């Protein structure tokens, strides 16, 4: 029962839409009605600027990192920590404060796995950054991040975390399904503005 309550608290903490709060309070912008309509760091950065995007990224990262960091003091059980990870990510993706909507889960995923498996997360982040720099698409980098993460978990010996990483891969791909369609058709908006 105590584990279940922890997962509920983690889900609710993950549900807090920091990107919406930052954009509304400091910039009088509602990201749900502009740009991609997403409350994550990428859309907030496009609408409100780099600093707002970074702030959103940090808070969304913390929503994943902190529950795992505290959870490790409660138990080192892999199932408990994996469910804590999923609770944080699902809270971000399907926030009750946003009527079941939310972000795409990448920053929170980074926070979760940075606490669980730093080396694999760091290497996956490098792949993500390289993909964004080369392609100009944040969505491309995000999809590659969750794709290579299970591979790096395998090579760094974090075998027990591979199942939850695969579950997260499916969730992130599902949340990016519109981005995938736009990438396939060549209509995805690049992070960098193209020169005319």
What pLDDT, on a 0 to 100 scale, did the predictor assign at position 8? 96
Handedness of CA 184, 137, 151, 149 (dihedral sign): negative
Q: Which of 50, 48, 61 is nearest to 21 (CA)?
A: 48
Domain ranges of the chain: 2-185
pLDDT at 1: 62
Is the Cβ–Cβ distance between 68 and 62 less than 8 Å? no
Residues of the chain with pLDDT under 50: 194-196
CB 6 within 8 A of CB 82: no
Closest CA to 10 of 163, 155, 112, 133: 112
Contact 82, 164 (CB under 8 A): yes
- 70: exposed, middle or buried (C-beta count within 10 Å: 0-12, 13-18, 19+)? middle
């Amino acid at each position: 029962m105590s584990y279940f309550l922890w997962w509920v608290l983690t889900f609710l903490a993950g549900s807090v839409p920091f990107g919406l709060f930052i954009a509304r309070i400091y910039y009088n912008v509602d990201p749900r009605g502009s740009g991609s309509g997403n409350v994550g760091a990428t859309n907030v950065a496009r609408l409100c600027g780099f600093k707002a995007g970074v702030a959103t990224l940090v808070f969304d990262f913390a929503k994943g990192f902190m529950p795992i960091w505290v959870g490790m003091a409660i138990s080192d059980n892999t199932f408990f920590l994996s469910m804590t990870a999923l609770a944080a990510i699902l809270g971000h993706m399907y926030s009750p404060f946003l009527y079941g909507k939310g972000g795409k889960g990448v920053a929170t995923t980074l926070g979760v796995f940075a606490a669980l498996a730093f080396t694999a997360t760091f290497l996956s982040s490098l792949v993500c950054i390289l993909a964004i720099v080369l392609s100009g698409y944040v969505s491309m980098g995000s999809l590659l991040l969750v794709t290579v993460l299970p591979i790096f978990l395998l090579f760094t010996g974090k075998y027990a975390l591979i199942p939850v990483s695969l579950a997260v891969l499916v969730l992130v791909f599902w949340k990016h399904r519109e981005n995938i369609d736009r990438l396939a058709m060549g209509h995805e908006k690049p992070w960098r503005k193209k020169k005319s």
